[in-house]
Amino acid sequence: MSSERLIYLPLGGAGEIGMNAYVYGYGPVDAERLILVDLGVTFSDMDGSPGVDLIFPDVSWLHENKDRLDAVFITHGHEDHIGAIGHYWEKLGVPVYARAFTANLARHKMADRGQPEEAVRTVSAWPEMTEAGPFRVGFLPISHSIPESAGLVIDSPAGRVIHSGDFKLDETPVVGEPFDPDLWADVSKGGVKALICDSTNVFSDHPGRSEASVGPEIEALVSAAPNMVVATTFASNVARVKTLAEAGERAGRSICLMGRAMRRMIEAAITTGVLQNFPKVISPEDAASVPRENLMLLVTGSQGERRAASAQLARGKYNGITLKEGDLFLFSSKTIPGNERGVIRIINQFSEMGVDVVDDSTGKYHVSGHANRPDLKRLHDIVNPHMVIPNHGEHRHLREHAKLAADAGRASIVAVNGTMLDLSGSAPSIAGFVETGRTYLDGAVQIGALDGIVRDRIRMALNGHVVVTVILDEDDEPLGEAWCELKGLPEMGRSDAPLLDVLEEDLTQFLGRAKAKTLSDDDKLEGELRRIARNTCRDEIGKKPEVTVIVSRLS
Amino acid sequence: MSSERLIYLPLGGAGEIGMNAYVYGYGPVDAERLILVDLGVTFSDMDGSPGVDLIFPDVSWLHENKDRLDAVFITHGHEDHIGAIGHYWEKLGVPVYARAFTANLARHKMADRGQPEEAVRTVSAWPEMTEAGPFRVGFLPISHSIPESAGLVIDSPAGRVIHSGDFKLDETPVVGEPFDPDLWADVSKGGVKALICDSTNVFSDHPGRSEASVGPEIEALVSAAPNMVVATTFASNVARVKTLAEAGERAGRSICLMGRAMRRMIEAAITTGVLQNFPKVISPEDAASVPRENLMLLVTGSQGERRAASAQLARGKYNGITLKEGDLFLFSSKTIPGNERGVIRIINQFSEMGVDVVDDSTGKYHVSGHANRPDLKRLHDIVNPHMVIPNHGEHRHLREHAKLAADAGRASIVAVNGTMLDLSGSAPSIAGFVETGRTYLDGAVQIGALDGIVRDRIRMALNGHVVVTVILDEDDEPLGEAWCELKGLPEMGRSDAPLLDVLEEDLTQFLGRAKAKTLSDDDKLEGELRRIARNTCRDEIGKKPEVTVIVSRLS
C-alpha cells in the first residue's frame, strides 16, 4: 500500500481565472485511477486570441490517460466550470456527475454538441456519495452566485479531501441553500487532509456581503424610477434576477426577460425546482404595449457583449423596445477586467440617448460571489485541513492565499496548471509536471494556442499583409513584372507615389538583375522577394508588413 | 458689432478621454479669428486600432481655416494635451504658447519631428497676457498631476471665458503652485461668461485628496521594506516621483531612475526650475553594485507597457538589475481602463519571482489628478460663470457634469467633438457642426480612421486571410490549377483533409466548368473565386476568411 499515492493535478484554473479543470488520482505511481473536477472554458480577446470563439484547457494528458479516468464531477454551472463539457466529452467518455440544476445545464451543453445527454447523471447533495474508482465523492452545498453550487468531499484510501469549488459564505443567499457552517464542520470533524480552495478574492480584505443585502437597495432604486427600468446581471445569477424581478413587481411593473441566456437560466432553475415564486413574466411582444413606467426589462449583456440584449438596446432597438430620455439602466454586476471598453461603450451610448445609467461603483447594487480574505480564513478554520492548496486564481492570488494559509500554520503550496502534487504525506510535495496549455475553438476547428495560426493573425493585424506574385517561364525567366496586393496597409508612402507602384518597381528591378541560381531556387527567390518587400515598406511607410510570396512556374 | 460672435469648437476630448483640442473663435460669422487650446493624442489598442502608433484628432477643419488661426495655447504637458504638436505644427504654422516646463516638453516634441523649436514660446503665469487676434490669453496656475498646469483666462470683446484645463484643487501639491482660490476668485470677480471645465472625475463623489497625503503612506511602506524597492508612477507626475525618491532617501536608499521618460521628465523639471531639492540619483550602472536593501528604483511603465522598465523587470533583467524573492514593487498609480491586462500580466510575473506587489487598491499610494464632483462644484462656485461647458470626458461625463451645473442654475450643454457653440448670448447655443474624427499615425504615415485600412487588419485578425492565385493564358483558358496560400487559418478542416487541398480542388473544379464569359471578365472571375473560397472555408472550418484573388493573364 505504501507505493500508492493521492495526487492533485490542475489542468486549468490554477494560474488564471477561468477554464477550471482539476484532476485527482489515487493508486500506484503513474497508474493512479483518476477523476476530473470541472471542465470549463475561458473567453478570447482581441489582444491575445483574435477570432477565437472559446478557449479550453489542453486535456491531452487526460486524453492519453483516458483508460485511467473514472468520472467527471461538476461543482456548478458557470461557463468556466462547465463550458467545455460538450466539446470534450467524446475524448473522455466517462459519466459526468452533477446536482440537478447543474446537470440540466450540462445536458444542454451536451445536446448543443450532439453528445449523449444521458452521460450526465444527476446526483443529490451530501450525504449521498458517488463511487468512482477508489474515490467516493459527495456534493456539499455551498453558496455562490449561481444556484446549487457545491464543494466536493473526495474520500480515498489516503483520506478525505475537500474541493471548495467557487464559493462565498452567504447565510442568506435569496435562492438556494444558505452556507451551513455546522454541516461543513461536521463533515470535516474526522480530519481533512487537504482543502483545495477558491482564491479569486483573496485580495479583498472585508468580509463578503450577502446576496440579501442588495435587495432593499435595488427596490429603492426601482420604486423611485419614473420611466422604464432595464437591469442587467449575469443570467446565471438566478438569485439576483429574482431580486430584480421582485423589486420590479413590487413597484407595479411587468417583468420581461430578454436574451436567450436569461430565459434559459430561469427556465432551468424553475424546472429543477431551485427557483420558486418567480414573478410572472410577459413576452417581449407584450412588453412593447405596456406603458414604459410600468415595465421592467431584465436583460443579458452585463459585460458589454456586442450581441447581447444590453448592447443591442444601446445601439437602438431590441425586440421592438427602444430606450428613451429618462429611462433607467442598471448594471447589477461588476465588470470583469478586460471587458471595460465594451461596458463603457454601452454606457456612453445610453448617455447619448439620455438614459440614466447606474452601475456598481457605489457597491449598493452588486455583491461578489466569491469568498473574500476573511471568509477564506473562516473556511480554513471550519474545515481545519492539514494543508490548503489554493486553486482558481492567477499566480498572485494563489501565492497570497498560500501565504494566508501558511500564516495560520497550515502546509500550503502554489501549484499552477500542470503541477502534479502528491498529497499523501503531511505536506504537499511536487510529484512532477505535465505539459498543459490552451486549445482554441476557432470556428468549427480546435487549434493549439501555439500552432502559430493566431500568431499570424496578430501579426497581420499589427503589420498588414503584402502578397507578392511572380511568374517564371520554363527557362526560369520572369514572365512580366512582379505584382503585389496590399491588405491593411496605406496606399501612399513617403515618396508620394502609391506604395503598390514603388513595391512593384523595386521587386521587378530585382527580378531583372537576379542571377539564374536565385531564379531557379524557390526558397532563395521567395526569401529575396520578401526581404525587398519588407525593406521597401519600411522605407516608404515605416513598418515591415507580413509578406506572402507566390512564385508560379510554367513548366 | 452684433454680427460678431464668440465660438467654441471641440475637435478632440469632448466625448472621450484623451486627444484634447479645443478651438475658440471671435469675429464675424464664419470669419472668426481662431485660437487652439491643446493638441493632444490618444493611444491605440488592439481592439479598435491594431498596429497604429498614435491617434490624433482630425484637424482638417482647422487646416482648411488655417489663415484664420492666430495661436496655439498648451495648458500642460500631458500627452493627451501636447502629444500631437510636433506632428501637426507644420499644418498650422502659428506660434505655440506655454509655460516654461510645458514649453520645454513641447520643444522636445517639435525637435523629435524636425520642427522648429522656436515656434514654441515660453510665457509667464498670470497676470501676463498674450495677444492673439482678438483674444488676450493668460495662464492661471492650477494644480494637477504634472507641474505648471494652467487654466486659461481667455478675454475677447464678448467677455471673459475661463478654460480650466485638467485640474484638481490641491492646496498642498508637493511640486508646483498650490491651488489658490483667492486668485481664481479675483480673476473671476468681473464676471465670467463661460467656464469650460474638465469632466473626467465627475462620477467620484468624495472630495479629491491632496498629493501630500500619499507621502506618509509611501514613507511607511518603503521604510519597512527589507529588500529592494521598485516603484512606478507616471513619469510626468513629478511631485509623486519626488515623494517616492524622498521616501527612499529617508530610508537610507540610493535612488535610481530607470526608463527614458522618467529621466527626461525629471531633467525638464529641474532645468525649468519647477523641481528643487530632488534627492541625488545614481546611474543604473552604479545601482547594480549597491546592496539591494539600500536601493530604490523609480521606473516607467505604470500602465504595463510592454517595452517600459517595469515590464522588462517583470520579464527578467533590465539595466543589469534582476528582482528577487522578497523585493517590493509599488504601483503608485492607477490603471487606466483598457490597460488592466498588461498591468495584471506584470503583477503575476512578479508574483512568480516572489516579488511582493502593492497597488493602489487601498487608495493609500495614489491620488487622482482630476477634480471630483465636489471639487467641480467648488470651482463653479468660485468662478461663478454664466455658463458651464463640460469638456474632457466621455459622453457620460459631459452629461453628468452638465446636469451638475444645471442643478445649480447655470446654463450648460453637452457639446461633443465637432459641435460648434455660440457663447455670445446668455446661454450656449449650437452654431453648427464640423466634421471631426481621428487620424492614425501608422508607422511613418498618417491614415484616416475610416480609410478601411485598419478595418482590413481587424478582419484578417478575426477571420484569417486566403490568397487565391489563378493564371490564364492568351485564350482565357486556365493554365494549370488554382492555388492558395493560407495565413492565420487552421491546416485541417472537417473533412480531415488539408484545408489547402480542399480549397484548391474546389476552385480548380470551378475553373474547369466556368464559362468563357466568366473567365474573360476579371471582376466576375474574382467574385466567383472569392465566393467559392469563402463557402469552402465555412464548410470546412466554420469561418469565412478574408480572400484576396489574384488573376494573372498571359497576354
Q: pLDDT tens digits, residue range A39-55?
A: 999 999 999 999 999 99
pLDDT at B523: 96
pLDDT-wise least confident of A336-340, A404-408, B205-209, B548-552: A336-340
CA distance A247 to chain B (A): 25
Q: Which helix (H) or strand (E) holds B342?
A: helix B340-353
Average pLDDT for B148-165: 98
* pLDDT higher than threshold 80 for residue B91: yes
Residue A2: pLDDT band with limits 50, 70, 90: low
* pLDDT higher than threshold 90 for residue A286: yes
pLDDT at B427: 95
Nearest-by-CA chain A residue for B549: A485
**Mind giving me the DSSP string for A290-306?**
S-GGGEEEEES-TT--T
Q: pLDDT tens digits, residue range B262-274?
A: 999 999 999 999 9
Round the average pLDDT of chain A to a whole number and report it: 96
pLDDT at B1: 46
Instruction: Provide, as residue numbers in chain A, all residues whose Cβ is less than 8 Å from the Cβ of B18.
Output: none
Distance from C-alpha of A292 to C-alpha of A297, rounded to nearest angstrom: 10
> Considering only CA atoms, which of B192, B205, B211 is closest in space to residue B426?
B192
Nearest-by-CA chain B residue for A454: B488
Residue B431: pLDDT band with limits 50, 70, 90: very high
The minimal CB distance from A467 to the residues B348, B443, B548 is found for B548
ipTM: 0.94
Cα R_g (chain B), whole angstroms: 28
Asked if the Cβ–Cβ distance from A445 to B488 is below 8 Å, we say no
Asked if the Cβ–Cβ distance from A541 to B442 is below 8 Å, we say yes
Average pLDDT for A138-147: 98
CA distance A16 to chain B (A): 10
Asked if the Cβ–Cβ distance from B541 to A443 is below 8 Å, we say yes
Those residues whose C-beta lies under 8 Å from the C-beta of residue A194, and which sit 6 or more positions away, are: A8, A161, A162, A385, A386, A387, A388, A389, A423, A428
Nearest-by-CA chain B residue for A484: B550
The minimal CB distance from A493 to the residues B344, B445, B454 is found for B445
* pLDDT higher than threshold 60 for residue A1: no
Q: How many CB pairs under 8 A join A and B?
A: 196
Q: Domains in chain A and their CATH numbers?
A: 4-206+368-448 (3.60.15.10), 211-358 (3.40.50.10710), 464-553 (3.10.20.580)
* pLDDT higher than threshold 50 for residue B411: yes
Average pLDDT for B456-475: 96
The minimal CB distance from A461 to the residues B50, B399, B554 is found for B50
Instruction: Provide, as residue numbers in chain B, all residues whose Cβ is less than 8 Å from the Cβ of A465.
Output: 460, 465, 487
Residue A185: how many other CB atoms lie within 10 Å: 13
Half-sphere exposure of B161 (CA within 13 A, CB side): 29
The minimal CB distance from A445 to the residues B463, B542, B550 is found for B542
Asked if the Cβ–Cβ distance from A543 to B338 is below 8 Å, we say no
* pLDDT higher than threshold 60 for residue B101: yes
> Considering only CA atoms, which of A336, A301, A26 is closest in space to residue A200?
A336
The minimal CB distance from A542 to the residues B444, B489, B542 is found for B444
The minimal CB distance from A548 to the residues B395, B483, B487 is found for B487
Q: What are phi and psi of B382, to 5 degrees?
A: -65, -45
Q: pLDDT tens digits, residue range A159-207?
A: 999 999 999 999 999 999 999 999 999 999 999 999 999 999 999 999 9
Distance from C-alpha of A84 to C-alpha of A72, rounded to nearest angstrom: 12
Instruction: Provide, as residue numbers in chain A, all residues whose Cβ is less than 8 Å from the Cβ of B340.
Output: 337-338, 340
The minimal CB distance from A460 to the residues B45, B442, B457 is found for B457
Round the average pLDDT of chain B to a whole number and report it: 96
Residue type, A303: Q
Q: List C-alpha distances in Å: A237 to A76, A202, A234, A304, B507.
A: 12, 21, 5, 17, 49
pLDDT at B216: 97
* pLDDT higher than threshold 70 for residue B403: yes
Query: E strands along B75-207, which residues?
Result: 96-98, 120-122, 129-132, 135-141, 150-156, 159-163, 194-198
Asked if the Cβ–Cβ distance from B203 to A361 is below 8 Å, we say yes
Instruction: Provide, as residue numbers in chain A, all residues whose Cβ is less than 8 Å from the Cβ of B352.
Output: 395
Residue B247: how many other CB atoms lie within 10 Å: 27
Asked if the Cβ–Cβ distance from A340 to B338 is below 8 Å, we say yes
CB A542 within 8 A of CB B445: yes
Average pLDDT for B77-90: 98
The minimal CB distance from B396 to the residues A348, A443, A464 is found for A348
Those residues whose C-beta lies under 8 Å from the C-beta of residue B318, and which sit 6 or more positions away, are: B258, B299, B309, B312
Average pLDDT for B491-519: 95
Those residues whose C-beta lies under 8 Å from the C-beta of residue B34, and which sit 6 or more positions away, are: B23, B24, B25, B62, B65, B68, B69, B70, B133
Asked if the Cβ–Cβ distance from A51 to B464 is below 8 Å, we say yes
Distance from C-alpha of B330 to C-alpha of A423, rounded to nearest angstrom: 35
- Tell me the CA end-to-end span of chain A in Å, nearest whole number: 71
pTM tops 0.80: yes
Nearest-by-CA chain B residue for A53: B462
The cell numbers describing B144, all together, are 494637477
Asked if the Cβ–Cβ distance from B461 to A460 is below 8 Å, we say yes
Instruction: Provide, as residue numbers in chain B, all residues whose Cβ is less than 8 Å from the Cβ of A542.
Output: 442-445
CA distance B266 to chain A (A): 30
Residue bearing cell 486627444: B19
Average pLDDT for A32-37: 98
The cell numbers describing A206, all together, are 472585508
Q: Is B553 exposed, middle or buried (0-12, 13-18, 19+ CB in 10 A)?
A: middle
Distance from C-alpha of B402 to C-alpha of B417, rounded to nearest angstrom: 16
* pLDDT higher than threshold 70 for residue B395: yes
Residue A338: pLDDT band with limits 50, 70, 90: confident
Query: E strands along A434-474, which residues?
Result: 438-442, 445-448, 465-472
The minimal CB distance from A443 to the residues B394, B542, B554 is found for B542
Q: Which of B205, B361, B487, B536 to mutate to test the interface with A (most CBs of A within 10 A)?
A: B487
Asked if the Cβ–Cβ distance from B461 to A543 is below 8 Å, we say no
Distance from C-alpha of B537 to C-alpha of B495, rounded to nearest angstrom: 11
Average pLDDT for A77-106: 98
Asked if the Cβ–Cβ distance from B453 to A464 is below 8 Å, we say yes
Instruction: Provide, as residue numbers in chain A, all residues whose Cβ is less than 8 Å from the Cβ of B314.
Output: none
Q: Which of B17, B335, B360, B489 to mutate to test the interface with A (most CBs of A within 10 A)?
A: B489
Residue A36: pLDDT band with limits 50, 70, 90: very high
* pLDDT higher than threshold 80 for residue B2: no
Q: Which of B456, B463, B494 to mutate to test the interface with A (most CBs of A within 10 A)?
A: B456
